[in-house]
Amino acid sequence: MSVLKKFFKDTIIYGLATVLPRLMNFILVPLHTDKLKTVSYSDNTTFYVYAAFFNVLLTYGMETAFFRFFSKSEEKDKVFSTTFISLIVTTVVFLIGVLLFNQQLSVWLDIDPKYFKLLIGLLVLDTLVVAPFAYLRATGRPIKFASIKIANILIYVILNYFFLWAIPKFEMDFSWYDKTDLVQYIFIANLAASIFTFILLTPYFFKTKLQFSTTIFKQLLSYGWPIMVAGLAYVINENFDKWILPHLMDKNINGAYSGCYKIAVFMTIFIQAFRLGAEPFFFSHAKEKNAKETYALIMKYFVIAGSLMLVFIIAYLDVFKILLVKDESYWVAIQIVPIVLLANLCLGIYFNLAIWYKLTDKTRYGMYLSIVGAIITIVFNILLIPEIGFIAAAWATLAAYGIMMILSYFLGQKHYPVPYNLKQILVYLGIAIVLSVLALQTNSNYYLNTVLVLVFLGLIVVFEKKELKQLLKK
């Protein structure tokens, strides 16, 4: 149990580095949905869809590969240096290519050339700091890691409020300020924050002697490229709906859909925090005798926490709607939120299950599973959006992540069997779904919905009383 407690401690520390920035970013949702019309919010969403896609391409699985080989290699400095050099070289090549063909690319991607230049700057800076950030995590420096991440988001948030709120509010007169194109200042704020982060991490560029090992590079690339393909498929699963909606419907619908999608941010934060703490822990703990039992226990508590979050958010959905998405024109898409929340919970379970192919070096299975999910996402969106509208995009997300989760479980039990308590997991998920459906039927009766949340909490205490007592005693 002490190992489990250490895992929770690491997850909390590293998770704060993601949770706090995400929460600060979270406060921008009301600002953006208040200041931007749905069309502009759609442009903002499209910008970050492309950012997510190119981020995966530019890192090509090197971050996860670094963790895998850094944890078991005796030449740790060489692993870091090789990873760092490879990312620098490929990023510079990418930058040169984009500068040569930037006009053609912006037209092909259907993005404003001004936005495209900002996107490229952001991509280059964020890629160059991947290796230093990974080094901080791998060497157990959570405070440094968290401090830089939080500083980045503070700058981003402050500049957003300066550009979108303070300047109009106090009627500041700047010749360069364009009131008709507010969305560009979101991108400028992001670029400024990335420049600051890059400067803070430059000392780690010289942390070790620069030495490139062809042997290590081949190992990193062999391990990482399936993760890159899986990452691209994941970007499709997460963002294809927001990319295709403007084409199959219109930007107004996409803006409303994307705004309401943000209400599921709490589940996303929870999953991201879990991944940051879990991935290094899973690799470092793999050689322990009780590793599989520990993984099974972590899965159960992950499902418990995620299920509780599902019930809580749906129980108070109208409150979150008013707090986050102030402009009522966005509310046309509010019915997607419960579906997206459940889809993200399935995704979190999938990430937990995915440890089997990472520990057995069968990362190609992660690629296969993500491709299956991407195919489902693409087919469902293209076929169903014209028939039933934007709600099809949410159902496509749930179908993709649900099927990926199920397939990963059965494959994992074949290649790296972990004794998950499937019965308990399904009971928690089933109860959470039933309570969530009941909460949706109460017409926002918060007294009844509070009772539903308390019922679920009570069941957790009853079912887990013994283990919780043991965990708290350690």
pLDDT of residue 285: 66
Residue 360 three-state SS:
coil
pLDDT of residue 278: 67
Q: How many CB atoms sit inside 10 A of residue 174's CB?
A: 8
Question: pLDDT tens digits for 38-68?
Answer: 999 999 999 999 999 999 999 998 988 888 8
Question: pLDDT tens digits for 417-471?
Answer: 999 999 999 999 999 999 999 999 987 788 999 999 999 999 998 888 877 676 6
* pTM given for the model: 0.85
Segments forming the whole domain that contains residue 134: 2-473
Asked if the model's pLDDT at residue 1 lies above 60, the reply is no
Using alpha carbons, select from 7, 315, 382, 47 the residue that is nearest to residue 181.
47
pLDDT of residue 429: 96
Asked if the model's pLDDT at residue 472 lies above 90, the reply is no
Question: pLDDT tens digits for 139-177?
Answer: 878 778 888 988 998 999 999 999 999 999 999 989 999
Residue 113 three-state SS:
helix
First to last CA, the chain: 7
Cα 444 from Cα 317, distance rounded (Å): 8
Cα 304 from Cα 281, distance rounded (Å): 20
Question: pLDDT tens digits for 115-133?
Answer: 999 999 999 999 999 989 9
pLDDT of residue 23: 72
Q: How many percent of the chain have pLDDT more than 90?
A: 58
Question: pLDDT tens digits for 348-406?
Answer: 999 889 888 888 878 788 889 989 999 999 999 999 999 999 999 999 999 999 999 99
Assess contact for 173 and 182: CB atoms under 8 A: no
Question: pLDDT tens digits for 330-349?
Answer: 999 999 999 999 999 999 99
pLDDT of residue 4: 55
Please, what is the average pLDDT of the chain? 88
Q: How many percent of the chain have pLDDT more than 70?
A: 91
DSSP codes, 212-242: --HHHHHHHHHHHHHHHHHHHHHHHHHHHHH
Token digits of residue 2: 């002490």
- CA 60, 369, 347, 2 torsion-angle sign: negative
- Total structural domains in the chain? 1
Question: pLDDT tens digits for 215-254?
Answer: 889 999 988 888 888 889 889 988 999 999 999 999 999 9
Q: How confident is the model at residue 284 (pLDDT cuts 50, 70, 90)?
A: low
